[in-house]
Amino acid sequence: MKKITKISALILAGLLAVSLTACGGGGADTADESTPAASAESAASEASVPSGVEDGVLTVAMECAYAPYNWAQMDDSNGAVPIKDSSMYANGYDVMMAKKLCEANGWELEIVQLDWDSLIPAVQSRTVDAVIAGQSMTAERMETVDFAGPYLYATIVCLTLEGSDYADAKGISDLSGGSCTSQSGTIWYSVCLPQIEGANIQPPVESAPAMLMNLETKTVDFVCTDMPTAQGALLAYPDMVLLDFAGSGDDFEVSDEEVNIGISVAKGNTVLLDAINSVLSPMTADDFNAMMADAIAIQPLGE
């Protein structure tokens, strides 16, 4: 480090004196000049980054095809919300949570229906304010968006059909040799299915309903999904069997980030992130599970 010359020292001393005078408890004449420049710059910087809800509307994207997280229905029964640019209405766990966020923050809610692969790009481009769609809070996703939450803790399970060779499976090793699939862009497909040694992994499908239909039509022997999706599927397809290997010692290995489900917002949108987290933070896993049970009970295929 260079030595400070005498002149430099005098200049620094003068600046320090001015700084101390400005920050001191002076009279009314100096009160309006007491805000530090750094704080002003920070406030201006924060104000320059739009939260997206300045208009009082929270625009949320979801598939509207991923029961019990979200689905589309014909009317507004059970508290369903209109889908933008559509005659349909959205409902489900994600809609319930979005409504809770809006009620707490005084926002109106707008639902936008998008394909799964379009969700992250939409929030990145700020076409929507947030994505509430059953997304795992993975490190890969966190490189492109920020996550509030979790707003649910998911368990990974499998589904098969009654009478299949895998209906009595006690662990993932018992699934060896079976054909299987899951939804594209999910940890179910990219992380979990490859852990089944000898599994005959088929190409991924575009949606959760398509995944279930592949199983129902015996195109595959089993599918991998999370517990809420499986519980909803059992109502719609009574011939399906839930395979939960938790505690068996022969289960899928997943990290917290892969089973913690979050709400994504644009990178750096701390205002919206904090507003959402202020609602989620006091909630417990039991709170989330109770709300999910309510969603499962009203999903159209379960009526």
> Which residue segments constitute the domains of the chain, with CATH numbers given?
57-152+263-302 (3.40.190.10), 156-245 (3.40.190.10)
Residue ranges of E strands in the chain: 57-62, 65-66, 70-73, 81-82, 89-91, 108-113, 130-136, 145-153, 156-161, 179-181, 200-201, 222-226, 240-243, 260-266
Structure tokens at 208: 């959760």
Residues 6+ apart with CB under 8 A from 58: 52, 98, 101, 102, 105, 107, 108, 109, 110, 129, 130
**For 62-108, what is each residue's pLDDT tens digit?**
999 999 999 999 999 999 999 999 999 999 999 999 999 999 999 99
> Which whole number is the average pLDDT over 263-278?
98
pLDDT at 4: 36
- Of 120, 141, 124, 108, nearest to 63 by C-alpha is 120
What is the pLDDT of the chain when averaged over all its residues? 87
Percent of the chain, pLDDT > 70?
Answer: 83
In this predicted structure, the answer to whether residue 183 has a pLDDT above a threshold of 90 is: yes
Residues 6+ apart with CB under 8 A from 198: 176, 177
Q: How confident is the model at residue 217 (pLDDT cuts 50, 70, 90)?
A: very high
* Residue with token string 């022969």: 250
Find the range with the poorest average confidence among 18-22, 35-39, 101-105, 184-188: 18-22
**For 138-170, what is each residue's pLDDT tens digit?**
999 999 999 999 999 999 999 999 999 999 999
Q: How confident is the model at residue 50 (pLDDT cuts 50, 70, 90)?
A: confident
